[in-house]
Structure formats: structure tokens, C-alpha cells
Chains A and B, each alone.
Chain A
Amino acid sequence: MEFKLKSIHIQNFKSLKDTKIELADFNVLVGVNGSGKSNIVEVFRFLRHINQQGMINPFLRYGGYKNLVWKGNEELPMTFKLNFEDENKEVLSYELVISGFRDVFKLERESIISNDFKIINNGKNVILEYSGQKIESDKLKDMKIKNELLENKVLFSSSIGILMPLILGASMDLNEKERDTFMNVMPTILRNSIINSTHNFIPANMKSPAKFESSERFQFVVLFPKLTNQLDYDGSNLQMFLYGLFSENKGEWPKEIINRLKILFPNIESMKPIPTPEGRVVLEVVENGIRFIPQSISDGFFKIMAVLALSFEKSEINLLVIDELENSIHPEAIEILIDALKNSGKQVIITTHSPIVLNVCELEDILFVKKDVDETKVSRVKNAEKLKKDLENTGISVGEGWLYGALE
């Protein structure tokens, strides 16, 4: 059964002091500047960052722990709790508690808990239980796992080195069904949360010819071979990402992308990512017989291409997070991009300040993000059916209703 991220509960991360968010398949975060929308996006970027290959101190990128922890209070730990659920309401949870007093990274606690088993990592030992029974530690020792390999390590950051042997060791005593359940857990958590695709696109960066590799590294390519082709946070390797998509699709663009491009850019005759002798990729676009290089193409085109490619690429990533989707995009293109994201088969979280985005969404998709003194709080529309009727009767669209302050 396919699990999806059902809710997140974050404590002490930036403005998210104690913030719970219930998630649906498509989620639109709205709120005033400084309400904490981008901090929610940053949660996913941080979870991805902390699991990068060779990560020793995840706080460096942020200029220290004090810039990440709530109100700069270094004595507080940060907690990330993710709950997953499948169609049969089976639940799975992942919790990570870390601290960083004086910028020293410390893993306080990490756990994966399902109906049948538990994996607890306390930063020194990893304890496994299946159906309430502890897996004997000597069996794990037989797997030649050295304690120093476990010390202060997040399970997924060194999954191949630590978690996989642990699971394999533990699974020796399990029957086939139990082993399958056990083995399914790690990819599920990874695909639906940790290895997410989080972005705040910078069109100027997207126009640069891309190198043949991404700036972010994961070990998970053993589990997920298609992870070698991932789009960077700001989209700076877009042209390489498109090359990967184009090549995987046997030198064609997926028809879901072509159908939408034909509507938005009817004069484009052809479009092809071309490798250069310098080891880069350049997207070449021919419109009305004229060949364009990326620098001559509009910002909106690159952003549209990025969202369409993310929607219809076939990698193992199930979670897309996009900050301020609407920047540089025409309203009619917004309509098509939202439709593409909704039809991507992936779980999507976007942030917006645009009433047009809200107009093309459902009331049930919207999450209101508010700053309550110095904490971010998130809520959904109450009684959406009644509100829909009220809006319709008064001739007000969802976006207008938001501007009037009538949705909450």
C-alpha cells in the first residue's frame, strides 16, 4: 500500500514553535509576509539537507543553530514529527529530535514506528523491535556494525552504511510478509518526505547552461536510481534536469508537457536540450523559425518548464514543495500549472500571495498560515461546503473572498 504524508508536527524550528499541519494531496499555504510560510517550506529543505551524503554539521548553511531554532534559543531542541497513512489507514511515523548548542550537532532521538515495529536511534545505539520483541543485539553485532558508525548519526543520512544492514540483520528472523513490511518502510519515508523536491525558483539562475551534475548528493541512488537527475532548489540545473527527462523519454517530451506547452506557447516549433563540448547542457528553442538561446527566452518560460517537468517526470520522489509558485507567471499559465501539479500523482505543497492561484484551487486545498505573537499557526477552512455556497451566492470568487478576509 502507498503511504502518504498525512501530517507534520514541528517544534522549535524557526517560527514553528509548536506547529501541526494536516496535509492533503494538494496544499496551498497562504498568509501575510513573515507569517511563516517559507519556514514550512524550509522544514522540507532542512530534512533533505540533513540527510545529504557526508553531512557533518547541518547548521553551517544557516550560519549556525541560533538561526534555525525558535527565537534563537540554542538550549531548545528541534523536533520534526512526520505521520504517514495509507489507504487502509495503516499509520507510520518518523520523528527526529536534534539540538545544536554552540553549533555542535547532536542527535537527541530518532524513531520510526509502525503498527508492527519500532526503530529507535538514540545517537549511540539503534534498537529494533518487531511485534513487541526486541531484535537481539548480538545478531546486529554479527553484521559488523561498529559503534562509532552509529554515533550521532541520523539513520537516513548513512542509510546504506547503517540502516540497511540493521534491517537486513533484523529481518533474518522474520517471515516474508513481515520482511516486506519492514523493508518497505525506509523507501516510504524517504520518497514521501525526506527526499522531497523543494524549490524557490530563480529564473536568472535557470537560464544558465547547466553542468552535468546536481549540487546535492545522496547515497539513496542505490535504492532510487533516478535520483541522479534531480532539480536543484533554485532550479539552476534546470537544463540538465530537462536533458535527463528528455533522454529518459527516448528523445521526446512527455505528452502531458507537450499538450500544455502547445497551449501556452503555440509558436514554439521545437525544443531540445543539447550537450556542449564543455560538459554543459543548453536548451535550444525554435520559435517561428528563429533559434533562441536560454538568455533570450522569458523568465516565465523557464519557470513553467520547471513546474511541468517536476509534475510529469517519473522519479521516485512523491513530494513537491514550491515556494511562491506564481512569480513571473501569467494567470492563464497559473491555471495550467496548478492543473498539472494536481494531475502529477504527487503530493504537492505550494505557497502563494496570489488570489488567482486561490481562484483555480478548491477551498479545501487552502491552509492559512498566521503568526500568533511569535509562533506560526496553521489552519484550514471550516465548513467549506457552506462557505462555497455563500461565496457563490454573493458572486465572490475564492481569491476575492481571501482578500475580503471572508474565508477564515
Chain B
Amino acid sequence: MKNCKSFYLWVEDRYGTKFFSRLLERIESKLEVTIPKRYPEGKFIKIKSARTVGNIETKIDKAVALAWKRYDCAIVVCDGDGKREERLKRLNKKVSEIKERPENKNKKVIIIVFKKAIESDWIEKGLDEKIDYGDKAELPNYADKLNLNLLKEDENFKEFIYAVDP
């Protein structure tokens, strides 16, 4: 995304933060996308879980408003649980309210909502097989196994790449 030299990535839980941290490394090495410089930690990229402060639905406006104070862009990723459009509309509405403030006029936010969940939308697609959703703590391990070429045509994945590419 143009002029997005640093970003705050907000995901649903702590397993998601680790997954996206590893996924960004792979996107950089496999897809040759230059991710904003990762170190020192927190200066250009911050990946945080929403769970400890509440949930994405409740806190998106505050998280995005705070992200804009220190980062060029805010990226929010969450599950749609079969109600993607409905959820996306609600989240966009909450963000649009803070975007109307003069100080946020040129700020950027990307909201990515999976149709169902990351497991079915990206992991199964990237592995080209059905997986057993046993322990959610397995999630970060899948980031190393995904064939990213299989995700290239996925609308959400394309949007994510666009968002993290400065």
C-alpha cells in the first residue's frame, strides 16, 4: 500500500499474532514482497491480539485510532463465521466514524474478514487439504507449511499483501 511504511496488525487472538508474524517472514522470502523493516520491534510493525482488551467488534475504533497515532496504517484481520458481509459492514461503520475526524483524514485502514475462519479460508487452501481443527495452538505452525502460490488468487490474501507492501 502506498505510503504505508509501518503498520499495526490487529488480530483476534495470541495464536493469530504468532501466525501472522511467521507468515510475514514467508511472504517476504517467498513472494519477494518487501515488508517494512521489522526491527527494532514495534517501530515499524506491531502485531497484537484483541482478546486481552476485549474483542475486535467492541474495540476496533479505539485500536485503529491508537494505531494511527504511531503507524501509517492499521490492518485488522478477523473471522467472519459465515457472516462476512454483515461483519465487514459493522466494522467499517465503526471505523468510518473515527475517520471523519479531521486529524484522521488521510489515515489508512484495511479490514480483512474471512468468509468463515482463517483455518478454512487460508490454511486449507494453502495446504490444499482438509485439516483437523484440533488444538488452536497449532495455528502458528501452519504459517511455515502454506504454499503461498495457492493463496495468490484469494481476494483476502491479495488485499493483505497489498496492505503490507509499502
Interface residues of A (CB under 8 A from B): 255-256, 259-260, 262-263, 331-332, 334-336, 339-340, 343, 356, 359-360, 391-392, 395-400
Contacts and interface: CB of A to CB of B under 8 A. Distances in A.
Nearest to A262: B140
B79 interface: no
Interface in B48-74: 49, 51-55, 57-59, 61-62
Given A259-B141, A332-B14, 11 more contacts: A259-B137, A262-B140, A263-B14, A263-B18, A332-B52, A335-B52, A336-B137, A340-B137, A392-B57, A395-B58, A395-B61
B159 interface: no
B70 to A, nearest CB: 19
Contacts of A399: 54
Given A392-B58, A395-B61, A395-B62, A259 B51 contact: no
Interface residues of B, number: 22
9 contacts: A262-B140, A263-B18, A263-B137, A334-B52, A343-B135, A359-B51, A359-B52, A359-B53, A360-B51
B53 A397 contact: yes
Contacts of B18: 262-263
B13 interface: yes
B15 interface: yes
A396 B58 contact: yes
A398 B51 CA distance: 11
Given A263-B18, A395-B61, A395-B62, A400 B54 contact: yes
B130 interface: no
B138 interface: yes
B147 to A, nearest CB: 22
Contacts of B101: none
B2 interface: no
A355 B55 CA distance: 13
Contacts of B54: 359, 396-400
Contacts of A356: 52
B136 interface: yes
Contacts of B53: 359, 397
